Amino acid sequence: MDFEFSVITESLPALLTGARLTWIITILGIVGGMFFGVLAGLGRIAGTEALGEEPHGIFKPISVVIRYISSGYVETIRGTPIIVQAMFLYFAFPMLVKALTDIQRFRIEALTAAVITIIFNAGAYIAEIVRGSVISVNKGLLEAGMSLGISRFQLIVHIIGPIAFRRMIPPLGNQFIISLKDTSLFIVIGVGELTRQGQEIMASNFRALEIWLTVAIMYLIMTTVLAMSLRQLEKKMKIF
């Protein structure tokens, strides 16, 4: 077996460009996913005792609607493969727009489709992490908070939020790593992320061993950075 180290050094610039794109898509996915995840996670338990006490009057039907919308989102995303979601957004969605509206020149950039897909995909899984952590907060603590006469908003921000967040960190770390690796699936819509770069170099020089080894190590470095940052955060919050 011959292992040519020079193959790696030659392909490094292209692979690093791909890695950079992978990293950018992932970070956008994590930030956006956290936003939608928190919204949908809280939305799924809106109006239940997990967020204080059950509402009355007009807020009751409103909370039911919020629960349905959030659940619909989470179940739709969880129930379909991310590859299908990306293909749908990139290929099918523009056709749908053209068919249903007057806009005839509609298209989505591959990178945009990738970012949107990863945001909504991560968001659905993060929603479940958020929901699980929030309902695990001891109800006595909510009662103690409510007994002081604070608002529901204050209860969520100052009591439920910090306690639940501490518990979310390990599963969030898991999800962030999954999302990072999921970006490799965007090869199917032609996004030049790390896996795609590897594939293209491979197609021109057939050096599978050097290329895929390098690609694997690059993924490993990125997932390790994610895992270690979350570990640091967890340590910081170790006090309780």
Partner 1 sequence: MSSIIELKNICKSFGDTEVLHNIDLSIQEGEVIVVIGPSGSGKSTLIRCINCLEMISSGELVVDGIRIPDERGRTRQIRLEVGMVFQQFNLFPHMTALGNVAFGPSKARKMNKTKAVDIARDLLAKVGLAEFENKFPGQLSGGQQQRVAIARALAVNPKVLLFDEPTSALDPEMIGEVLDVMKNIAKDSGMTMVVVTHEMGFAAQVGDRLIFMDEGRIVEEGKPSEVMKNPKSERLKDFLGHVKHH
Site membership for partner 1, residue 143 (CB under 8 A): yes
What's the closest the beta carbon of residue 165 comes to partner 1, in angstroms? 9
Q: Which stretch in 76-84, 141-149, 192-200, 203-211 sits in contact with partner 1 by CB under 8 A?
A: 141-149
**What's the residue count for the chain?**
240
The structure tokens listed for 226 are 């994610």
Query: In this chain, which of 44, 131, 166, 207 binds partner 1, going by CB under 8 A?
Result: 166
162 vs 170, beta carbon nearer partner 1: 162
CA 3 to chain centre: 37
Question: Least distance in Å: CB of 153 to partner 1?
Answer: 10
Q: Is 24 exposed, middle or buried (0-12, 13-18, 19+ CB in 10 A)?
A: middle
Cα angle 216-217-222, degrees, rounded to a multiple of 5: 100
Contact 182, 82 (CB under 8 A): yes
Say whether residue 149 binds partner 1 (CB under 8 A): yes
Chosen residue from 6, 101, 104, 138 binding partner 1 by CB under 8 A: 138
**Binding of partner 1 at residue 49 (CB under 8 A)?**
no
Q: Which residues bind partner 1 (CB under 8 A)?
A: 53, 56, 138, 140-141, 143-151, 154, 158-159, 162-163, 166, 239-240
